[in-house]
Chain A
Amino acid sequence: MKITGYRLEKYIQKLDRAIGDANYPAGDDLMGMAILWIDTDEGISGMAPAGNDAVESLFHVIEGKDPRGVVGLWKDMVDWVHKGNNEGEVNGAIAAIDVALWDLKAKLNDEPIWKTLGAREGRAKAYASDIGYNLSDDELHTFYSRMADVGVEGGKIKIGLNMKDDLRRIGIMRDAFSKVKGRPYLMIDTNEYWSPKQAIRYINEIEKHFELFWAEEPARRWDYDGLRQVARNISAAVASGENLNDIGQMYPLISQQAIDIANVGVGHSGITGARQVANMCYAYEIPVTMMNCPANFMAHLAAALPNHNMMEVVDPGRESAFDSWDNHIEDGWIVMGDKPGLGIEVSETKLKDLQATDHGRRPGFPFPRREGAALWIKDIEPGEVSWK
């Protein structure tokens, strides 16, 4: 069996709602997306709900190879980009190819990826994540209540710009989940907006009011000294890592005990790379939490990891190009079915329609860094979000 070709389709997805964080509280509801297919001489294709133009520069590395050798091909790609390194766009392309190859490998076995990876059960514990600094108090309540209704035991909220607003909003989140769990898991996320000392002051104040399970990205992604400093001065766990690209970049965070929980995701060079990071964390007794993604497809890997904690579920509506995806949330867990591969069915019709739609503007995501980050806190300005 040989890899013969690929197809990359890019499109812009209008979300069900805007998403926003400390860097861009107003948020945006347009997101650039892509689907990658890897084709074989036996007519079976693997797909990934990801990809970018750098796939073209990498494809020759895997062309003609057996797709079942996905871990070896991952290494071949990483070795190929040695000088410029496995970063940025190239990293995104390697990740997308890797996911498509795992999809293909599982489809060849006629089983879901969670089974290919050896998981005993196709499920991963979920937590709710708003990515919703733009959401009003009512909208926040509705979102977390909807997640609580399917048994989710806690949530993460975007904060960082105004203590009074943040305390109120964390309270809304807690109240929504308290019907499921007496002490719900409460997480906060500031997306690298603070300096370490700002984080320590801010989080200590929040901890007078709430028990926090983790604080995410309280300092810059690479600042292992700063993250460690935060971790030593708050009661909550420090979680970080989602903006790093691979296990090599995670190395200082892990070996310097800078993080208490590792964010892992497809951005760590695909399923293969994310599994490496998780295993390295396992040696250090660091739990991992899977980052959100379209159709929650990384739950396949989460289900197979011995040290996976909870996976982020945002559900802003990134699945418009799909006819179906094989998971749902039940009793607080992402429960996957037995459909082969990722279990995602792409609709060619919907994809064409999405590509034909002109939104008249470019997607605002990913967000630029907000003014004042790690220097001073630039409060949300009147009118910047609907609720203020």
Chain B
Amino acid sequence: MKITGYSTTLYEFPLNRRMGDANSPSGRIRGSSNLVQLFTDEGITGVAFGGGGAGPQIKSMVEGMLMGEDPRHVTGLWKRMVDRVFKGGHAGIVNDAISVLDVALWDLKAKANDEPLWKTLGGSNPKVKAYASGLDTPLSDDDIENWYGTMAADFGFTGGKLKVGLDQDDDLRRIERMKKGLERATDTPELYIDANEFWNPKQAIRKVREMEEQFDIAWVEEPARRWDFLGLRRISDAIKAPVCAGENLDTLGEFLPYFHNRSADVVQVSWGMTGITTAMQLADAAYGFELPITLGGSPGNLNAQLAPCMPNFLTLEVQNPDPDDGVMTSDIKIVDGWAVCGDQPGTGVSFDQEALEKATVESVSASAGPSPFGRRPGAGLWDNPATKEEADAAASGVDGFAYVPKHGSKTQ
């Protein structure tokens, strides 16, 4: 079997709720994605979603490294791609390109075997523990309780992750509302919080310690900067909850300081860290250090396919139980709070051609990207709660597509 060509298709769609975090409290109501297809001489096509900003890198990788190759050699091809970009390193958009191509290759390998990916990887049980993640900074208190309540009642989630970091009083109140929502499924919900690197280590210690007076926090995610292994370790030593970190790292090598200094108690893994190939290397390494693995949010929740072969897998982030973009289809279902991978060959994540054509765009609008507002001013320095302007935008329900903070405001 040989790779004969590829295609990429950018598309946009309305989100089913306003999404944001400490860095973008007004949130956004549009999302975007990029469908990557790898074609073969046997008529099987590898499908993956991502790398929307990495068009030229995908093109160069496919043309230079993958054309004519057997996609079943994915681990070797991964090495080939990674070695190709040795000097600059596999970081940033180059890493996005390798990551999405690696997923498409694994999809092809599983399809060539006519089996779901979890089985190709050697998993024996396709059912993996999951938690609900609201990306909910723009949501009102009532919306938070409702959303987690629905996730608990309709899908059985017993754990939830709240975006925090801008205002301690808001956060304390909102954790309580998330808890109330989740209590529709359990008396003892797992309460995760996520600050998206907005705090410095001492802010994190003060805030989390205060939260821990009221709540049993199941983990604190990204309480300091991604590379600050000393700060993360300090936080972990000073709070009761595990420190969960790593999602913004790109490679196995970037985790070495975490491992060596025990900076993270829970290691975040995703296909975006140089593909499924690196995700599995990371899971093995974390297993050696007795550190649990959590898999982050993913298109159609495809990360669930990786979990069955990870010996110390903890829980999977689910932002939407079913694909929310109207284009993607997924064979991964949420049942009683667990993600269950089906028998569809490959990753189980595919697309509807007609819907794709309707949603296709030439280029992605500025605020439909994954983190359209960048890092928020004041991050790591001072408190910077949402301005009235931002709060109004979040509450208005109007198209956040057009919302950009004014130059010179506190948010610029």
**Chain A residues close to B by CB (< 8 Å):** 65-66, 68-76, 78, 105, 108-109, 111, 115, 117-121, 247-248, 250-251, 254-255, 272, 275-280, 282-285, 304, 306
Contact = CB atoms under 8 A, between A and B. Distances in A.
A119 B75 contact: yes
Interface centre among A78, A118, A280 (most CB of B within 10 A): A118
B77 A279 contact: no
Contacts of B92: none
Contact of B76 (A69, A118, A248): A118
Given A71-B124, A279-B280, A282-B252, A119 B287 contact: no
B165 interface: no
A65 B126 CA distance: 13
Given A119-B73, A280-B285, 6 more contacts: A71-B311, A109-B112, A118-B75, A251-B289, A279-B284, A283-B252
A306 B79 contact: yes
A282 B75 contact: no
Contact of A115 (B72, B115, B287, B309): B72
18 contacts: A68-B119, A68-B120, A70-B122, A71-B311, A72-B309, A74-B311, A76-B124, A109-B113, A118-B77, A255-B259, A255-B260, A255-B289, A275-B284, A278-B284, A279-B281, A282-B285, A285-B253, A306-B75
A279 B277 CA distance: 11
Would you call the interface of chain A mostly helix, strand, loop, or mixed?
helix
A69 B82 CA distance: 28
A69 B281 contact: no
Contacts of B281: 279, 282-283, 306
Interface of B: 69-70, 72-80, 82, 109, 112-113, 115, 119-125, 252-253, 255-256, 259-260, 277, 280-282, 284-285, 287-290, 308-309, 311
A276 B277 contact: no
Interface centre among A66, A109, A248 (most CB of B within 10 A): A109
Contacts of B125: 69, 72
B72 A111 contact: yes
Nearest to B106: A118
A283 B77 contact: no
B106 to A, nearest CB: 9
A73 B121 CA distance: 12
Contact of B288 (A70, A115, A121, A254): A254
A42 to B, nearest CB: 14
Contacts of B252: 279, 282-283
Interface centre among A76, A117, A120, A255 (most CB of B within 10 A): A120
A285 B252 CA distance: 10
Given A72-B309, A105-B122, A118 B109 contact: yes
A299 B259 CA distance: 29
Contacts of B123: 69, 71-72
B288 A72 contact: no
B263 to A, nearest CB: 13
Contacts of A255: 259-260, 289
A285 B73 contact: no
Contacts of B75: 117-120, 304, 306
Contacts of B288: 247-248, 250-251, 254, 276-277, 280
B255 A283 contact: yes
Nearest to B254: A283
B377 to A, nearest CB: 35
Contacts of B287: 247, 276, 280
A115 B73 contact: yes
Contacts of B76: 118-121, 304
Nearest to B80: A120
A66 B125 CA distance: 10
Nearest to B75: A118
A161 B281 CA distance: 40
Given A66-B124, A251-B289, A285 B77 contact: no
A220 B347 CA distance: 45
A247 B259 CA distance: 14
B79 A283 contact: no
A63 to B, nearest CB: 13
B121 A285 contact: no
A73 B288 CA distance: 18
A80 to B, nearest CB: 13
A76 B311 CA distance: 9
A78 B312 CA distance: 12
Given A71-B123, A255-B260, A118 B284 contact: no
A118 B72 contact: yes
Nearest to B256: A283
A69 B256 CA distance: 30
A279 B252 CA distance: 9
B104 to A, nearest CB: 14
Interface centre among A75, A248, A278 (most CB of B within 10 A): A75
B246 to A, nearest CB: 12
A118 B70 CA distance: 10
